[in-house]
Structure 1
Amino acid sequence: MVRDTDPEPEPGHGRDRGSRPRRRGQGELEAQILHVLHRAGRPASAAWVQEHFDGELAYSTVITILTRLHEKQAVTRVRDGRAYLFTPAADGAGLAALRMRRMLDAESDRQAVLASFVTALSADDEQLIRALLGSDAPPPNGS
């Protein structure tokens, strides 16, 4: 269990109070917080995540992001007194996959969305998907 009393973070992984944070891309902060949780190697408190985050984040921001990640099933949490301890259930790639599934689920014409997505893939990505699905057969349209 990782608590607030753990040793100081290794150099380059603590908060840098002297710099102004840059604007992050959508989902980037979630991925960064997941990365911190993975580094913990065990359940960690929001305060621990805040302390070991590479940059400065308000505690309320960390709680908000961890709560969102929990709602997306990207982290699990267990009660520890009045607080929660968080464990990653997905890595950055898993989080991106969760977002893709959520977007797909929100569309009324799932087949059209998937067809549009697949036709826009590069040849390498298409081949990777075929391999992951266990089919090396050529596509029906010959592409």
Structure 2
Amino acid sequence: MSGDGSKADRGREPRGRRRGQGELEAQVLSVLGTAQEPVTAAWVQGRLDGDLAYTTVITILTRLYEKKAVTRSSEGRPIRWEPVADGAGLTALRMRSLLDKRDDRDAVLSSFVSALSADDEHLLRSLLGEVGSQVGPGGQCGPGGRAGQVGPSDPDES
């Protein structure tokens, strides 16, 4: 009975498409990133696309706080929020959280690296090389590691 104005039909009209996991968090972080100073949840709500309830915005901000992606003021009311991480940082926090839940870190990281495209693997090696040069001798990063670790896969590449 689609489109006949039935009660069931009307009940579905206000609902938009269902957002993907983390999409709202990314939107909130994006809005927070435009602020020049810590802001209230009402400020965030007013700048988000759509019609999110204030309580939904508070829930998202609280989840981001628990993930250490935002900070909040502990003084007075209303609470003010500011980002610690951007969208990329939030994804990195999620990846780290998932990795921390596993006992077999080597296997997880090895599987992750082996599933990367050649371009992504090159980028990761480059980024890890930068970190390795900052860590210096005796650090955990650098050449001579196992597959999936930092350093050239062919010793002659260095």
Identical positions, percent? 64
- Say which of 102, 125, 133 aligns to 1:130: 125
- Which structure 1 residue ranges, 4+ long, deviate > 6 Å from structure 2? none
Give, in whole Å, the separation in 2 of the partners of 1:115 and 1:52. 41
Tell me whether 1:39 sits opposite 2:34 in the alignment: yes
Cα RMSD of the aligned pairs, angstroms, is 1.8
Residue from 93, 103, 109 that aligns with 2:104: 109
Q: What corresponds to 1:8 in structure 2?
A: none
Q: How does 1:1-143 map to 2 (within 5 A)?
A: 20-134=15-129, 137-138=152-153
Match of 1:5 in 2: none
- Show structure 2 runs of 5+ residues with no match: 1-12, 130-149
| RCO comparison, higher one (Cα < 8 Å, 6+) | 1
1:130 offset after TM fit, Å? 0.6
Which runs of no fewer than 5 residues in structure 1 stay unpaired? Answer: 1-17
Query: Matches of 2:55 and 2:16 in 1, distance apart?
Result: 16
Partner deviation per Cα, 1:105-127 (whole Å, 9 max, x = no partner): 00111110001111000000000
Q: Distance in 2 between matches of 1:87 and 1:66?
A: 10
Give me the TM-score of the superposition, normalised by structure 2.
Answer: 0.73
Which is greater in Rg? 2
Separation of aligned partners in 2, 1:92 and 1:106: 22
Count of residue correspondences: 123
Give the TM-score normalised by the residue count of structure 1: 0.80
